[in-house]
Homo-oligomer: A and B are copies of this chain.
């Protein structure tokens, strides 16, 4: 299951809010903890000059996808962008995975264009981690690539998410929850109800460990390993959570810096506050996987600092080393009869008689 060759990552060094200042610092940290890893640093030659390491190679790219570039510009005009060239390294077999902190929409569009979608997958999805009360991370997908999803898409997400968690968290049979609204309200729309049926079928045929419906609060309770939802709902939940965490952090800071007495209290409570901060540190959960492509791509938060970007590199490395792509492919192949729908299921039942 472990890749026999050293893992090489292609890093879009120009992406994100901070560019090479952060990405290069993160690469240095990453190299020091991964003695067998290699990096392809992709970006403008002048920005990357001076990064001397025998395990590093600079791959020049003359353009940069800006955070506010329209999709069309990123995809059609900037054909020599660091983002695209990094992904091309994966396509050409020179890197096991690409990592970028650039514009999510552009990254997904370019990755789909360059790498193509995996057999059996209609829509690639973005899978990220949220912290949970159990101290682990809850993997959630889709976080914004697909605004309208069919039950079949949600099943594909569930299967791909299971492969991701089995590889990155070493859980062979991770649990899957379908994001829905409370028992006390009308329970979901038609798509969600049909998705539930499909996920239950997948569970009974051994393709998934389906827990059942979960609600928004279950993400943070850690009720299941994987929460599946469409990209609209996932993106809203993700951004709302980021917004709430920022607000709470802001309130804590305001209250502790209100006057000299509260500042002294902050000093005295410092060890406790840092232990707390460490627990909810979003940097520990950075690095979303773009799943369903014929190559591995990881997306770092645009505002990532070097520690956060290093986490994304670590995740990409672990995914490459544990051959995530093959694991996804196997699980999708196994679930193919279900994914091809009721008709395929029926014909398979006949064949297996």
Contact at B279–A181, with CB atoms within 8 Å? no
Contact at A188–B244, with CB atoms within 8 Å? no
| Contact of A215 with B by CB under 8 A | yes
Contact at A105–B219, with CB atoms within 8 Å? no
Residue of B nearest to A186 (CB): B147
Number of interface residues of A (CB under 8 A): 70
User: Which residues 228-256 of A sit at the B interface, judged by CB distance below 8 A?
Assistant: 229, 231-233, 235-248, 250-252, 255-256
Q: Which of A75-83, A261-269, A339-347 is the interface stretch?
A: A261-269
Contact at A185–B133, with CB atoms within 8 Å? no
Contact at B262–A265, with CB atoms within 8 Å? no
| Contact of A179 with B by CB under 8 A | yes
Contact at B239–A148, with CB atoms within 8 Å? no
Contact at B242–A216, with CB atoms within 8 Å? yes
| Contact of A32 with B by CB under 8 A | no
Q: How many Å lie between the Cα of A146 and that of B269 in the bound state?
A: 45
Q: How many Å lie between the Cα of A236 and that of B213 in the bound state?
A: 12
Q: How many Å lie between the Cα of A259 and that of B146 in the bound state?
A: 47
Contact at A271–B262, with CB atoms within 8 Å? yes
| Contact of A106 with B by CB under 8 A | yes
Q: How many Å lie between the Cα of A323 and that of B297 in the bound state?
A: 56
With A189-B147, A240-B219, A265-B271 known as contacts, the answer to whether A182 contacts B235 (CB < 8 A) is yes
Q: How many Å lie between the Cα of A246 and that of B146 in the bound state?
A: 29
In the A-B complex, the 4 residue pairs with the closest CB atoms: A217-B243, A216-B239, A216-B240, A220-B243
Contact at B217–A144, with CB atoms within 8 Å? no
Contact at B241–A255, with CB atoms within 8 Å? no
- Which chain B positions have C-beta within 8 A of A190? 148
Q: Which of A219, A247, A261, A273 has the most CB of B within 10 A?
A: A247
Contact at A133–B247, with CB atoms within 8 Å? yes
Distance in Å: Cβ of A110 to nearest Cβ of chain B: 13
Distance in Å: Cβ of A218 to nearest Cβ of chain B: 7
Contact at B251–A280, with CB atoms within 8 Å? yes
Q: How many Å lie between the Cα of A130 and that of B237 in the bound state?
A: 14
Contact at B233–A258, with CB atoms within 8 Å? no
Q: How many Å lie between the Cα of A185 and that of B126 in the bound state?
A: 11
| Contact of A195 with B by CB under 8 A | no
| Contact of A183 with B by CB under 8 A | yes
Q: Which of A218, A239, A279 has the most CB of B within 10 A?
A: A239
| Contact of A37 with B by CB under 8 A | no
| Contact of A283 with B by CB under 8 A | no
As a 0/1 sequence over residues 89 to 115 of chain A, the CB contacts with chain B under 8 angstroms (1 = contact) are 000000000000001111010000000
Contact at B235–A237, with CB atoms within 8 Å? no
